Amino acid sequence: MTELIHLETKSGGGETARAFEDFMDAFEAFKETNDQRLSQIERRGAEDAVTAEKLSRIEETLDATKRVSDQLALKAGRPHLAQGGSDPAMSLAHKSAFETYVRKGDTGRMTRLEEKALSVGSGPDGGYLVPAETEAAVNRALKAISPIRAIAGVRQVSGSVYKRPFATSGAVTGWAGETAARPQTATPVLEELQFPTMELYAMPAASSAILDDAIVNIDEWLAEEVRIAFAEQEGTAFVTGDGVNKPKGFITYPTVANASWSWGNLGFIATGVAGGFAATHPGDKLLDLVYAAKAAYRANGTFVMNRSTQSAVRKLKDGQGNYLWQPSNGPGEQPTLLGYPVAECEDMPNIATDSLSIAFGDFQRGYLIVDRAGIRVLRDPYSAKPYVLFYTTKRVGGGVQDFDAIKLLKFSAS
């Protein structure tokens, strides 16, 4: 095994392999210590303070090693910007003109290119479109680090609002003999869903040294600077956004007990205990949550919760003493709960009375993210001298598109 790791190190994969081994070692230590804690509760009726503190430290290590492993895997798999597009000559011209604009503030070539392409915008006032390769790099990075974008449905549009009809009830069907009369069927009920795109912005700053350094790849620098800011802002909106100048988050929609579910609401399963799991068989409610979703949605189901909630879930076992939460099989992969992947989303609420702290379902069918094509950059050399600011904007919207595809676990008595 040591020789294998040594070979991987020489080939560039050893650092990621070692980080994942550290994560797996931490998980084994976690299981051993948690078993001791559960044994103490059975014997004494309470956990030992020293064991609880040790378990907490191990959990911090477990989370830290997982983050390092995932970051290394993401870095190793990140593609470089490449030339693309249907017209390579136009793509190269756009890239060259954009670099001249960013480095020196020369707007002439960019203005002529956008006029030639009949691009919508106001040039020097509204900024210029980044090259297609840079936009693709930003969107790839967003998907890699934004937990909801990674599992939701995504559609790119050219307009400011995306509208789509959704059948809330299908046409009535039935069987009939070859010569029997066919009764008229009922008309399906359609709802028009609207997803307006809102402006999301970031404002990275560059020194004159960066702009004057010819070896610095301006496209990659800009993509790297804005991706974190974009991902954090949109990630929060996709979960808790109120829909005012931002996407509408899925936990902000009306909720009802799943037994009384109706279109326009998200169904929830109550844990039976305010602010926690039941003392006996706590994992049963997680099973109820999974089976609250129809089979068609369970096939592509994903759990969504934050790190604090995952810490509580990680301690749960089934009736045979097996942990319900299992670590990932490799760097960059998601852990699983009851066999379904877990997306860690820090914008989900902590466990508290009446909190909606765990979601499950087919988010690709349940939640839609709408990206308007084009990322714009406006160069501002005046507001923060001696630095140059780059006001970078993209338009994005989002909301629930299938209210039956996502179910929530509510930490309440009923």
- My answer on whether 12 and 131 are in the same domain is no
Q: Would you say 63 and 342 are in contact if contact means Cβ atoms under 8 Å apart?
A: no
Helices vs. strands in the chain: H and E counts, helices first: 13, 16
Residue 9's pLDDT band, with cuts at 50, 70 and 90, is very low
Neighbours of 236 (CB within 10 A): 18
Residue 268 inside a domain? The answer is: yes
The tokens of 388 are what?
């140059």
Is the pLDDT at 139 greater than 60, yes or no? yes
- My answer on whether 228 and 255 are in the same domain is no
Percent of the chain topping pLDDT 90 = 46
Residue 42 inside a domain? The answer is: yes
Residues 276-292: pLDDT tens digits?
A: 999 899 999 999 999 99
DSSP 25: H
Q: Which domain holds residue 257?
A: 250-367+403-410
Residue 179 inside a domain? The answer is: no
Task: Confirm whether pTM is higher than 0.85.
Answer: no
Tokens 């009920």, residue? 189
pLDDT of residue 64: 81
Please name the residue ranges forming H helices in 169-276.
Answer: 208-212, 218-240
Residues 148-204: pLDDT tens digits?
A: 999 999 999 988 899 988 777 655 666 777 777 767 666 677 778 899 999 999 999
The tokens of 178 are what?
């070859």
pLDDT of residue 78: 54
Residues 6+ apart with CB under 8 A from 112: none
Residue 153 inside a domain? The answer is: no
Q: DSSP for 349-406? A: PPS-TT-EEEEEE-HHHHEEEEEEEEEEEEEESSTTTTSEEEEEEEEEEEEES-TTSE
Last residue of a domain, one of 31, 46, 73: 73
Tell me the CATH number at 344. 3.30.2320
Residue 77's pLDDT band, with cuts at 50, 70 and 90, is low
**293 or 221, which is more confident?**
293
Helix/strand/coil for 322: coil
- My answer on whether 127 and 265 are in the same domain is no
- My answer on whether 231 and 100 are in the same domain is yes
Alpha carbon distances (Å) from 264 to 49, 304, 366, 399:
46, 21, 12, 12
- My answer on whether 113 and 224 are in the same domain is yes
pLDDT of residue 141: 80
Neighbours of 212 (CB within 10 A): 10
Report how far residue 395's alpha carbon sits from residue 389's, in angstroms, rounded to the nearest whole number: 19
Residues 83-136: pLDDT tens digits?
A: 444 556 557 777 888 888 888 888 877 777 666 554 544 555 667 888 888 888
Report how far residue 413's alpha carbon sits from residue 83's, in angstroms, rounded to the nearest whole number: 57
- My answer on whether 269 and 394 are in the same domain is no
Alpha carbon distances (Å) from 229 to 124, 131, 243, 270:
24, 19, 19, 35
* Total domains, the chain: 3
pLDDT of residue 390: 93
- My answer on whether 135 and 36 are in the same domain is no
Residue 79 inside a domain? The answer is: no
Tokens 């449905």, residue? 153
- My answer on whether 319 and 214 are in the same domain is no
Residue 147 inside a domain? The answer is: no
- My answer on whether 257 and 318 are in the same domain is yes
pLDDT of residue 310: 95
- My answer on whether 236 and 258 are in the same domain is no
Residue 178 inside a domain? The answer is: no
Is the pLDDT at 10 greater than 70, yes or no? no
- My answer on whether 316 and 215 are in the same domain is no
DSSP 264: T
Residue 204 inside a domain? The answer is: yes
Is the pLDDT at 363 greater than 80, yes or no? yes
- My answer on whether 220 and 101 are in the same domain is yes
